[in-house]
Structure formats: C-alpha cells, structure tokens
C-alpha cells in the first residue's frame, strides 16, 4: 500500500488506484495526544481517544511507501502533521529494543517503508538542517528503510506531489 499524508489540500489530478491512499489531514479532526499511554496498557495498539487519527495510524503501519507533505515550522513538522505523528504511538509497543546501538521502541506489525518528505515553507538553511536531523531520528522510529527530503516552494508543491506519486507507478 502507498500512503500520502498532507497538511494541505491535495491536487485533484492524482491517480486513483486502490493501492494508493491520499489523506488531507487538514480536513480531519485529530486531537492532541494526552500522554496517558492507554494505547500501550489499556487498549494495546489502539488509542483511547476516538477521533480520525484511529483511522490513519493503522495505514501508516501498513504502508510500504509513504509521502509526508508538511509545512516546515521551526525546523519541525507543522502542527497538523506533528499531532498525527504523535498520535501514531500505538503502532509501537511499550517494550524497548537496541537498534543501531540506540534504544528504540519495538514496532507493532509495522512494514518497513520508503519515505519521501516534502517540506514547504522553509526559509533558513539552519531550519532545513534541523529538520533533516529530525527526520533522520524519526526514520529509526518510523521503520523507514529509505527516505529523502525535498524542500519545496509552496507554489511548486502540487507539481512535486504529482511527480512523487507517479514515481510509485514506475517502481
């Protein structure tokens, strides 16, 4: 399965195929994580907060290819994307493992994935470097087997999104 998560409206011209899922997070109702760890101890693998996030994070776990489209804010994902990623903690277990000589959570049936991050709105090189470091850290927790980041001008975003989705078809 291929998954595109965006914090901005998506182009309507994207190919409609059953293996492709496109989600505009700005149209969903996703509450903040409250840090209760209910997803680990009360209802393992399921967030206790019932909103749209519970439909999205299982798709993240199943996807083999994923594209994140996010506005860059202070060297990080914008609020909409960051909130969803924080709410995706149920796809990890409370248990720890050693990965590349570092401690990380054990994944809960998460497929290794190829990831593309399209970050728009970056103005400063320092902000881009901070984001690159963040994604490198996230890659270990999000089961990325490969990833690339494209810093894109917002006016070019639809074109780049379409190009990246079309690359799914050519693999």
Higher pLDDT, 170 or 131: 131
Rounded Cα–Cα distance for residues 90 and 98 (Å): 19
Average pLDDT over residues 105-112: 92
Task: Give me the CATH number covering residue 132.
Answer: 3.40.50.360
| Domain that includes residue 113, residue range | 2-169
Rounded Cα–Cα distance for residues 105 and 163 (Å): 33
What is residue 23's predicted lDDT score, i.e. its pLDDT?
Answer: 98
Q: In the predicted model, is pLDDT for residue 10 greater than 90? A: yes
Q: What is the pLDDT of residues 25-38, one digit of tens each?
A: 999 999 999 999 99
| Total structural domains within the chain | 1
pTM over 0.85: yes
Mean pLDDT of the chain: 94
Higher pLDDT, 67 or 140: 67
Q: What is the pLDDT of residues 133-152, one digit of tens each?
A: 999 999 988 999 999 999 99
Rounded Cα–Cα distance for residues 6 and 46 (Å): 22
For residue 84, give Cα distances in angstroms to 12, 70, 150, 155.
23, 12, 20, 25
Percent of the chain predicted with pLDDT > 90: 85
Percent of the chain predicted with pLDDT > 70: 99
């Amino acid at each position: 399965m291929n998954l595109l998560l965006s914090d901005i409206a998506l182009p309507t011209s994207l190919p409609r195929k059953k293996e492709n899922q496109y989600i505009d997070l700005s149209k969903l109702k996703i509450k903040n994580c409250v840090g209760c760890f209910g997803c680990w101890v009360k209802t393992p693998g399921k967030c206790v907060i019932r909103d749209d996030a519970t439909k999205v994070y299982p798709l993240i776990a199943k996807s083999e290819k994923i594209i994140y489209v996010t506005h860059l804010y202070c060297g990080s994902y914008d609020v909409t994307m960051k909130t969803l990623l924080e709410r995706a903690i149920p796809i990890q277990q409370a248990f720890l493992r050693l990965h590349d000589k570092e401690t990380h959570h054990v994944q809960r049936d998460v497929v290794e994935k190829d990831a593309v991050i399209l970050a728009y709105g970056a103005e400063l090189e320092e902000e881009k470097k901070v984001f690159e470091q963040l994604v490198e850290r996230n890659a270990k927790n999000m089961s990325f087997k490969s990833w690339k980041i494209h810093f894109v001008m917002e006016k070019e975003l639809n074109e780049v999104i379409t190009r990246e989705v079309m690359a799914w078809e050519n693999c």
